[in-house]
Amino acid sequence: MVGVSRSFNPRTGEAFGPELPDTTPAELDDVLGAAVAANARWRSAPRAERAELLRAIATSLDADTARLAKLADDETALGVDSLAGEVGRTTFQLRQIADQVDDGSYLGVRVDLASTEPLPVGHPDLRRTRVPIGPVAVYTASNFPFAFGVAGGDTASALGAGCVAVVKAHPAHPQLSEAIAGHISSVLQERGLPAGIVGLVRGFEAGRLLVTDARIAAAAFTGSFAGGRALSELAAKRTEPIPFYGELGSVNPVFVTPQAAGRETLAADYVASLLLRNGQFCTNPSIFVVPAGSGVRQAVSELVAAAPAAPLLAPAVHDLFKKRRSLLAGIAGAQVVSGVPADAAHDWFVPPELVTLTAADVLASIDAVETECFGPVGLLVEYADPGEAVALADRLRGCLVACVHGGENDELGAALVERLALIAGRVVWNGWPTGVAVTAAQHHGGPFPATTDAQHTSVGAEAITRFVRPVAYQSMPSSLLPAELR
């Protein structure tokens, strides 16, 4: 039996639109065959041609922003304005990667001319660059249908690096995935480039087969811990293992020192960050750690209690959210504040929730606390003294981002920054974890379980290096060197 993907209206719980059948193994074989054939062409495409393709895809998406954002909102309820902004972020990213490809510094070119030093033998002429790694499998995310979608950062990085991509569409936005793939196809066709440069597949089984297929050379994934871990193990068990760049979701801590606890907008800013896209951010402020008796808890509780119910983006997210929410609420010592319940006309909506615990409670139930709850649940933790806050920081596992709100000459703040740098990919001072700037210095990654590869990032200038590998050329005549090494 072949499964199907169908759009789902998160505001009503109703399915809509065409039934899109899962990719069969035979179809997947065709997609991969086309990818390999296209790879031979694309890996030797001049960098200028690759950059131009990325810019053309950006132009095509930009021109269709309104329709695409509407379609995405119909399928995910993440909000038309927010999604239109995300289109802009995605096309900005495509152009930024295009600039990097033109620039070429990601190749890490290094030239050592032949030398008689060091004694006794010297060394020959050695020149190193980076070459495309081969066809890349891209697993798109539910919560950023553009930025981590079919034309998102992973696909852009792969194409920019000179790799073809086979993209697994996310079941939460099947029609949007088709629409974005349509833009890419048109742009490829206009240029006379093979359609196999970007393939699209659908369905759980196709995703599993993709990462185990010998024709795939690397994989990038953004999604759940369970899914990412399973795929990463498949990648490692292959006859020829491949790099697997998985972002598996993250429990991100935000610490507040006594010096910062009195700030007027702290509670409101926290709740705003917590409820962005109804809590469906991988950089969600999962654990908010505040001084006991500082009034932060009271202020946050009031804001959450007044916050309305809102939709979650897909039925699977719904189901998992309910389980995780119960797990958190069931921790010994937990006190729960709920937001405004959904009325009868919106029974698919979920109210936000705040779970409060003491630091001692958290240390006694660290595994439950460290299980990501994707959706509008905040965990607020009160510490009795600085030692408890530091002890908690020492117990946390790897995360994408950690924040400290502190003051000047803040000893506790300094101690926390030092410790959080040991477990986080990004450490923020007096700010919130949501919002990942697309800049050269950005690092969107972090130690396991936040990702399966703490040394790479999926956002920023280094993202493209996931899909190249170094090659050194020794004593090579200039005419046989890649252009950048001559």
* Residues making contact with its own copies (CB under 8 A): 85, 92, 110-112, 118, 120-121, 123-124, 126-128, 131, 133, 232-233, 236-237, 240-241, 243, 397-398, 408, 413-414, 417, 421-422, 424-431, 435, 437-443, 445, 447-449, 452-455, 457, 461-462, 465, 468-477, 479-480
282 is catalytic: yes
Residue 340 buriedness (CB in 10 A; 0-12 / 13-18 / 19+): middle
**Rounded CA gap, 397 and 170, in Å?**
28
Specify the residue, 188 or 412, whose C-beta has the smaller distance to its own copies. Answer: 412
**Rounded CA gap, 184 and 198, in Å?**
8
CB of residue 364 vs its own copies: minimum separation in angstroms? 20
Where residue 16 falls (left for φ over 0; alpha for ψ -120 to 50; beta otherwise) is beta
Is the peptide bond prior to 120 cis by the omega test (within 30 degrees of 0)? yes
* Closest alpha carbon to 438 in 8, 133, 85, 150: 85
CB of residue 52 vs its own copies: minimum separation in angstroms? 20
CA 190 to each of CA 43, 98, 185, 235: distance values in angstroms, whole numbers, following the listed order: 19, 18, 9, 35
CB of residue 92 vs its own copies: minimum separation in angstroms? 6
CB of residue 375 vs its own copies: minimum separation in angstroms? 25
Q: Choose the catalytic residue: 247, 370, 382, 462.
A: 247
Specify the residue, 182 or 431, whose C-beta has the smaller distance to its own copies. Answer: 431
Is the peptide bond prior to 194 cis by the omega test (within 30 degrees of 0)? no
Specify the residue, 151 or 438, whose C-beta has the smaller distance to its own copies. Answer: 438
340: which DSSP letter? B
**Rounded CA gap, 301 and 278, in Å?**
17
Tokens of 177: 């995935």
**Rounded CA gap, 365 and 384, in Å?**
17
* Closest alpha carbon to 147 in 56, 69, 226, 253: 69
Please name the residue that has the structure tokens 């202020």.
299
Question: Do residues 445 and 451 lie in contact, with contact meaning Cβ atoms separated by under 8 Å?
Answer: yes
CB of residue 214 vs its own copies: minimum separation in angstroms? 11
Find the length of the chain.
486
What is the chain's alpha carbon radius of gyration, rounded to the nearest angstrom?
24
CB of residue 112 vs its own copies: minimum separation in angstroms? 4
Tokens of 109: 């070119």
Number of helices and strands (H, E) in the chain?
15, 19
Specify the residue, 106 or 383, whose C-beta has the smaller distance to its own copies. Answer: 106
3-state secondary structure of 360: helix
Specify the residue, 186 or 474, whose C-beta has the smaller distance to its own copies. Answer: 474
Q: Choose the catalytic residue: 163, 282, 399, 403.
A: 282
CB of residue 95 vs its own copies: minimum separation in angstroms? 10
Specify the residue, 1 or 121, whose C-beta has the smaller distance to its own copies. Answer: 121
Specify the residue, 343 or 418, whose C-beta has the smaller distance to its own copies. Answer: 418
205 is catalytic: no
Instruction: Give the catalytic positions in this structure.
Output: 247, 282
